[in-house]
Each structure stands twice: as structure tokens, then as C-alpha cells.
Structure 1
Amino acid sequence: MANKKQFGVWMDTHHATIVGKENVTNGAIEVIAHVKGVQLSPNSSEKNFNNEQRTLQGKYFKEIITHLQNATQIHITGTGQVQEQFIHYLAADAPFKNTVTTESTSNKMTDEKLKEFMAAKLS
């Protein structure tokens, strides 16, 4: 498929960096966006805290998705389990049902290192 729209996402529970190709055919991988999630302070009710946390995570994922339109391939990496949750979230979203998703684990890195890392993963 010569016209692949490939993206890479480094994420943890509170921050995501999205990279992709500006020019689909021969462009270099560039940073597209940085997305910050909201961090909750502990609540007196564990049930309310969990519900609010789930709602905020959904908003965080939706904000990331706005930068991944028409994706054919997405590589997701990061430090925790949030990547797996995000992949399940994508799979449940109709526009991303046929998107190829892969994942790995990595520590936080600079934007330049992330671009190099994703160039290798998306080639």
C-alpha cells in the first residue's frame, strides 16, 4: 500500500507525543502534537474517583485520536499499560477498526529520539 498514513504515539497516563509523516509518499517523520491528560487528586469516594478517572481517560484518548485521522498504521509505545488500553479503545472506534496497531514498551525520550525510534518501527 503506497499511500499509508502512519503514525507513532509515545504515551503514559498523562502525556502523549504523536508523530507522523507530513507528506505521505516521501515525507520525514515529524512531531504532530503533544497531548496532556488531566491528573486527578484523590477523592473521598473511591467509586467517584474511578468514574471520574475513566471519563478523563476517555477524553484524553479522544484528543489523541483527533491527530490520527485516516491512519492505516499506528505504533504505540510508552512506559505502562495505558498503550494496551488505548489499542482496545481504537479497536472499538469504527474509523480505526481496520487500522494496523502495534505496541512496544519504552522510556520517555526526546522528540528527536522518538522520531528516530518511530522511523524504524514504521518503515
Structure 2
Amino acid sequence: MSDKKLAGLWMDTEKAIVVKNHDAQNAFKFFLCSPVKAEVQHGNSSENAGNNAERTNRAKFFKEIEHLLTNSQEVYVTGPGTVQEEFKKHLHETAQFKDLKVTLDTAQQMSEEQVLEKVKEHFNA
């Protein structure tokens, strides 16, 4: 087991399942964090208001995930669609994460246990 602080997550536009091998101080074995759910906006008065709300909610969603990745040295991100690429771009535009090694992958819906296994497999843990 590496003593590198590693994290991995499966994400789509509605939720993220985060797995990491460290808490604030120590690197030990991989564990699941509480899933992060995105706020989904319904029924806006205009398309513009809807787009603004969606951007605000996406930024908030990314910030919540980012908080769980604090101190990680390497991150593996998987899931369907293109939200992983958006998240990687968001991380690299954030000073604290600009040098973070981020590996992207694609995967369909997964259970928390499947995400845990996939991340362990990715990092050979």
C-alpha cells in the first residue's frame, strides 16, 4: 500500500461517489465518503435564469467534491458523459489543485462498492 494520498470518484451530473485513502492527516486504506448530491434546478422563468442556476449549482457541486479531495496527491475520476472533463478543468483552474495529477476514465452507473473496487484497482491497492 502506498503512503501517497489518493482519491477516486465516480460522478455524473447529479451525484458523486468519492473514495479516498486518507483523512486530514494519514494515508491508510481506501474508504467511502458520503455521496455528494448536486442540486437540480426545476422550473425557471427563463432559459437564461435556468442556465445561471445550473452553472451556480454545478460550481457548488464541484466545490463540495473538491473539499473531499483536499490533500490528495493523485485523483482518478470516472463516470458517464463529459462532467469529469469539466471537473478536471475546474480543479486545474483552482490554485490549490492546479498541479494535481488527474486521470479520467468513463464508466456507466456504479454502486458505492463497485466504485471502491474500481478505485482500488486503478491504484493497485
Same fold (TM over 0.5): yes
Q: Which residue of 2 aligns with 1:95?
A: 96
Equivalence for 1:34: 35
SS at match of 1:83: helix
Distance in structure 2 (CA, Å) of the matches to 1:69 and 1:86:
15
Q: Give the Cα separation in 2 of the matches to 1:20 and 1:63.
A: 15
Matched, 1:115 2:116: yes
Partner of 1:66: 67
Q: Percent identity?
A: 36
Following superposition, the deviation at residue 117 of structure 1 comes to 0.6
CA contact (8 A) 1:70 1:95 kept: no
- Distance in structure 2 (CA, Å) of the matches to 1:107 and 1:30: 21
Local SS of the residue matching 2:17: strand
Q: Which amino acid aligns with 2:62?
A: F
Structure 2 unaligned residues grouped into runs of 5+: none
Contact 1:20–1:30 (CA under 8 A) maintained in structure 2: yes
Structure 1 residue ranges (4+ consecutive) displaced by more than 2 angstroms after TM superposition: none
Unaligned ranges ≥5, structure 1:
none
Task: Quote how far apart the aligned CAs of 1:29 are.
Answer: 1.4
Distance (Å, rounded) in 1 between the aligned partners of 2:72 and 2:97: 7
Question: Could you say what the CA RMSD is over the residues aligned between the two structures, in angstroms?
Answer: 1.3
TM-score normalised to the size of structure 2? Answer: 0.89
Instruction: Determine the structure 2 residue equivalent to 1:11.
Output: 11
Any idea what the Cα deviations from partners look like across 1:58-79, whole Å, max 9, x if unmatched? Answer: 0000011111111110000011
Shift of 1:43: 2.0
